[in-house]
Structure 1
Amino acid sequence: MTPAARVQAAIDLLDLIIASARDDGAAADTLIARYFRERRYAGSKDRRAVRDVVYRAVRAYGDPPSSGRAAMVGLARADAALAALFDGSAHAPTPLGEAERGPDGSRLPGWTAETFAELVDEAEQETLLDRAPLHVRRNPLRASDADILARWPDARPIEATTYGYALPAGTDVPDDGMAEVQDAGSQLIAQACHATPGLTVLDLCAGAGGKTLALAADMVKDGALAGRLVAADAVRDRLARLTPRAERAGYGGQIEPLLLDSGREEAALKPLVGQCDLVLIDAPCSGSGTWRRNPEARWRLTPARLDRVVALQARLLRLALPLVKPGGRLVYAVCSLIDREGRDQIQQIVRTDTLWQLVHSAGSEQAPGRSWGEGTLLTPAHDGTDGFFFAVLEKPC
């Protein structure tokens, strides 16, 4: 492909991504992979170059552009080398019109401006769209610190995490159980749970089990998981991915998967009422704290979608409270920096359920983050992590 043809390919892909975001269709990565499967003539350099410029455009606009061409025109107006590729040659975009301009607006969705204005300053808002680092969590059952450094000599330990390492971008991480790709923020939340051997622990929104495996690492005694660790989720395909991951990590048969019936979760969870030393709710959310990893998600988030996830989060919290035994803990987390999903949810709990005590942990070298309402806030600029809110509540004996 010529450089100009790559630009036209990026325009075509952006048209697909914009439409898919509007219609809640396939993700950008899926669309890009499908596009190149149908165009075998594109080599690896072509694919990489097109992908890079596509995501450059996606990161540039908080609201979906009107078209792929509009998105690329916006970039070209600030990049003479890119503008020169609008030359009208074979497979290239037609020349830029004098009146053509790119989309206006910030890198955040326009309707969220007031939401983020209170939470983080403009400089921090920009970091929400920076390229994310590569973090891994060492699996103590499969590898020592020396093993990690032998495999990745450039690995750098992440302060305040027990098993975390930062790796150079693009480093290959084999799927062999030695280490799991996991942002440092997720690792810090798992550590805030204080899971220990012998406890009964429920990961209520386990998904594919990233935080479940982090909890398992803290429950190991004599080379095996000690206690009871239940991983629950309402999405069968997502939960099914935990089993092979647990096998590779050395926890085969030791973690209990629990498939929930969405909207009827109480029946499956009834045996756990009053039995859990720890319940973790890593709740479904807007994902606004992970936009640097998935910038296209900004184009999918709407006020109506936010209303739906906020309602779901409140229901999950109410579902979880009775499961915790006296003296036990509930940890609530969202990978979001929108107060309605984090701080406001916990404030509602402490106002209506006065028995619960808050456990604050932010603000020290050992516990990064900032106190935010009744919980802790992690942001890319302040902590080098994805954006998270989490809170730890304890039920008195």
Structure 2
Amino acid sequence: MTPAARTQAAIDLVDAILDAARAGGAAGDQVAKRFFAARRYAGSKDRRAIRTLAYDAVRRFGEPPVSARSAILAMADADPLLAATFDGAPYGPAPIEPGEPRAEAGPAPRWLVEAFAAAGLGDTELVALLDRAPLDIRVNRLTADRDTVLAEIGGEPAADLPDAIRLPADAAIDQNGVLNDGRGEVQDIGSQIVSLATCAEPGGFAIDLCAGGGGKTLAIAAQMNGQGRILATDTDRPRLSRLAPRAARAGVTIAEPRLIDPGKEIAMLADVAGQADWVMVDAPCSGTGTWRRNPEARWRLTPDRLARVVATQARLLDVAADLTAPAGTITYVVCSLLDDEGAGQVTAFLDRRPDWRALPLALPRGRVHGPGMRLTPAHDSTDGFFVARLGRA
């Protein structure tokens, strides 16, 4: 492909990501996968160049641009080589016309910038949220040891986490045996850290209330040394269906998936009410802490959507309280840095549940924030998380 054709392809890809974000469709990585599947004529170097330019544009513009062309044009104003590709060549973008609109660069929509500021997060934190994320692996201690896995895949061991390995963002290990045979799982170091906040031990009973595909379920199973019971529940059948094969690969036999209907958690979990030693609430959230991986998520989030997930989080915390044994604990986690979903959400729970209190946390990374701890890319080199551990007073 010519440089001009690559530029036009990047414009087309950003437009597809924009359309999906506006319609609440597929995530950006899925849009890109389908985009390139329909363009098999593009070689590996072409795909890499197109993806790089497209995602540079997605990261650079916090407000959804009026069009992808307006975003790439704004970048071309500072890049003569990119501007030169707007030459009207076949398969390339049309020449630049005087007065064409340009997208305005910025880290996030204005209302979100204000929300981050209210949570005590400034420009440095916002900029770090848009860096490319490294690739983190959690070594499955039930079937492997880190030194052996390191010798096989390389990377850097995390000094403060005995099971964590970090690789570059572009490391290609999708077909590596470590992931295929259950000796390792792709899991951000921040996610590994907040899983530790459960303080789960062998022989107990844990409930992962929003298990999804089971990443934290498997991490908790490793903490429990494969002994005890984990009930992994979710309302999303396709996501939950991934747990069983992952658990089988990892040698985890204590995890029991259970599909539940939204809003009917109490009735469908009545048989375990008041019994759990540990309840993990990895609640649905805005995902503001994962922009390094999903920068187009800034274009999806609206105040109304945020209000809906905040209401869901509050309901799930109350469900978790009913599932917890008298001496049990709740670990509340969101991959968000907004106080409405983190510190404010837990404070509201404690206000309406005066028989509960926040418990101290001793985690290898993070800073105290309100009734819990916060991890950020700038400070902790992880995705953004808020985590709190709660117990009855």
Shorter-normalised TM range:
over 0.9
Aligned to 2:131: 130
Q: Report deviation, 1:159.
A: 3.0
Specify the alignment match of 1:178 in structure 2. 183
- Cα deviation for residue 323 of structure 1 reads 0.9
Partner SS state of residue 113, structure 1: helix
Structure 1 Cα separation of the partners of residues 32 and 125 of structure 2: 29
Q: For 1:374 and 1:160, how far apart are their aligned partners in 2?
A: 23
1:86 corresponds to which residue?
Answer: 86
Question: 1:48: Cα distance to partner?
Answer: 1.3
Matched residue SS, 1:295: coil
Cα deviation, 1:30-56, whole Å, max 9, x if unaligned, reads 222222222222111111111111111
In the TM superposition, what is the alpha-carbon distance from 1:101 to its structure 2 partner? 4.3
CA separation of 1:33 and 1:145: change in aligned 2, threshold 3 A: closer
SS in 1 for 2:296: helix
Which residue is equivalent to 2:142?
A: 141
SS at 2:85's partner residue?
coil
CA gap 1:105/1:55 in 2 versus in 1, 3 angstroms: closer
AA in 1 matched with 2:364: A
SS at match of 2:368: strand
Q: CA deviation at 1:160?
A: 2.5
User: What is the aligned residue count?
Assistant: 387
Which residue matches 1:196?
201
Aligned to 2:291: 291
How far off its partner does 1:147 sit?
A: 1.0
Once residues 134 and 41 of structure 1 are traced to their aligned partners in structure 2, the CA distance between those partners, rounded to angstroms, is 28
Separation in 2, partners of 1:189, 1:31? 30
Q: Does 1:374 align with 2:368?
A: no
Amino acid at match of 1:356: W
TM-score computed with the length of structure 2 as normaliser: 0.96
- Does the Cα contact within 8 Å between 2:232 and 2:255 map onto a contact in 1? yes
Q: Distance in 1 between matches of 2:35 and 2:146?
A: 41
Task: Look up the equivalent residue of 2:199 and give its one-letter code.
Answer: H
Letter of the structure 2 residue corresponding to residue 192 of structure 1: A
Give yes or no for contact 1:337–1:389 (8 Å, CA) kept in 2.
yes
Q: Which residue identity is paired with 1:160?
A: D
Matched residue, 2:211: 206
TM-superposed CA distance for 1:128, in Å, is: 0.5
Residue 246 of structure 2 is matched in structure 1 by 245
Say if 1:361 and 1:367, in contact at 8 Å, map to a contact too: no
8 Å CA contact 1:208–1:242 kept in 2: the answer is yes
| Rounded Cα–Cα distance in structure 2 between residues aligned with 1:386 and 1:38 | 32
| Residue 303, structure 1, aligned to residue 303, structure 2 | yes
The 8 Å contact of residues 8 and 92 in structure 1, kept in 2 or not, is answered as: yes
TM-score, normalised to structure 1, is 0.95
Encode CA deviations 1:351-371: one digit per residue, 9 max, x unaligned: 121221211225xxx532111
Aligned to 2:19: 19
Q: Which runs of 4+ in 1 moved over 4 A?
A: none
Q: Which amino acid aligns with 1:86?
A: F
For 1:45, the equivalent position in structure 2 comes to 45
Deviation (angstroms), 1:80: 1.3
| Counterpart for residue 353 of structure 1 | 353
One-letter code aligned to 1:36: F
Residue 384 (structure 1) aligns with: 381
CA shift, 1:105, in A, is: 4.5
| Amino acid in structure 1 at the alignment position of 2:223 | D
Q: Deviations over 1:314-335 (max 9, x none)?
A: 1101111011111111000000
Structure 2 distance, partners of 1:145, 1:92, is 48
Q: Give the drift of 1:219.
A: 0.7
Distance in 1, matches of 2:159 and 2:376, equals 15
Give a deviation string over 1:207-249, Cα, whole Å, max 9, x none. 00000000000111xxxx2111110001111100000000000
Structure 1, unmatched stretches of 5+, are none
- Aligned-residue offset at 1:183: 0.6
Secondary structure of the structure 2 residue equivalent to 1:393: strand
What's the CA shift for 1:98?
A: 3.1
Query: 1:276 aligns to what?
Result: 276
Per-residue Cα deviation, 1:286-324 (whole angstroms, up to 9, x for no partner): 000000100011111111111110111011011110111
1:198–1:227: 8 Å Cα contact kept in structure 2? yes
Are the counterparts in 2 of residues 369 and 378 from structure 1 also a CA contact under 8 Å? yes
Task: Give me the CA root mean square deviation.
Answer: 1.3
| Partner Cα distance (2:130, 2:259) in 1 | 34
Residue 158 of structure 2 corresponds to residue 158 of structure 1: yes
Contact preservation (8 Å) 2:60, 2:105: no
Query: CA–CA distance in 1 between the matches of 2:168 and 2:69?
Result: 33
Matched, 1:67 2:64: no
Query: Which amino acid counterpart does residue 143 of structure 2 have in structure 1?
Result: R
- Is contact 1:325-1:395 (8 Å) kept? no
**Separation in structure 2 between the aligned mates of residue 123 and residue 226 of structure 1, nearest angstrom:** 43
